[in-house]
Amino acid sequence: MRHVLVRAKAPLRVSFAGGGTDVTPFPESEGGVVLSATIDRFAYGSLRARDDGRISIESIDFGLSLDFPAAEDPAFDGRLDLVKAAIRRLSIDDDAGYDLLLRSNAPPGSGLGSSSTMMVALVGLLREYYSLPLSEYEIAHLAWEIERRDLGIRGGLQDQYAATFGGFNFIEFSDRVIVNPLRVRDSIVNELELNLLLCYTGTTRESANIIADQTARVEKHDPTALEGLRAQKDLALAMKAALLRGELDSFGDLLGQAWAEKKKMSPLITSVLIDEAYELAVRHGATGGKVTGAGGGGYILFYCDFTRKHRVAEALEKLGATVTEFSFERRGLTTWRAG
């Protein structure tokens, strides 16, 4: 196993509708559904074996490096705990040392599922290194368990499964998770790419705080929060149908409706900056849009007819936002040996 070089990449995702219905306790009581797709932004990992029985970790995103003996059980102290937790779960050879290098195309807290996607990439790296017989469902579930149970980080289920499976998916959550891959025609995917815009607000957020507030409202049976979550399920179904039929104008309108319903789940989901960017985009021709994660900052996804898309982009850039186009990525977690 010495002198082995392993690589991994897992795609980030945009969530169209249903986000929040995958967060406990809602899926256990009413069942959740999410419509999402992975894009050409990735979490990357590289693992190079070494002979001295030490593990070194370098995270480009956080600007942090760690080094410790492979036989040592690393303490959770707030420094790269996600990586330490994955190593704790998957290491099967206390004497095996290696160098880990990790980086992502999007910052943590951006709303593209970057933290969970990095966990999937990490699990994939260690599975490849140790030749572990893990299926896609097992990888996604293990990534979720490490984040939510081992580390106690609040959040849902969708990101780990989206990153592992890749592509367009309609994912169901109840007592188990079922990933339904969608066969979206290439012409529809091409048109959708042409009419979508990602707007980075320039601010990230701690999603756990928003999710904690949403969870508390569900536990208290807050009627507004529950109304928003139930509407998310209906909209996810409607958007799936519009997507498969190629009814993209309807899809764009439903994206805006999904945002209106999402805001009911917690007052922390939106902000003055998000509201200003949204109103500006609609005024310049966007049909609809929504934040791509828990809310409070990060990326906003806008649907705009291609003939007006440049005007929307110019207006958002004048506001100080960063606007980018993207392509969809049909592959999920990918691992390989490079040496």
What DSSP designation does 148 have?
Answer: I
Q: Which of 82, 91, 207 is nearest to 146 (CA)?
A: 82
> Between β-strands 196-200 and 299-304, what pairing exists: parallel, antiparallel or unpaired?
antiparallel
Burial of 1 (0-12, 13-18, 19+ CB in 10 A): exposed
Q: Are strands 32-50 and 168-173 parallel, antiparallel or unpaired?
A: antiparallel
- Return the closest-CA partner of residue 163 out of 12, 43, 39, 19: 12
159 is catalytic: yes
Catalytic residue among 61, 73, 77, 159: 159
Q: C-alpha angle 117/119/125, rounded to 5°?
A: 105
- Residue whose token pair is 């790419």: 193
**Full strand arrangement of the beta sheet holding 196-200:** 286-291, 299-304, 196-200, 322-324
Catalytic residues: 159
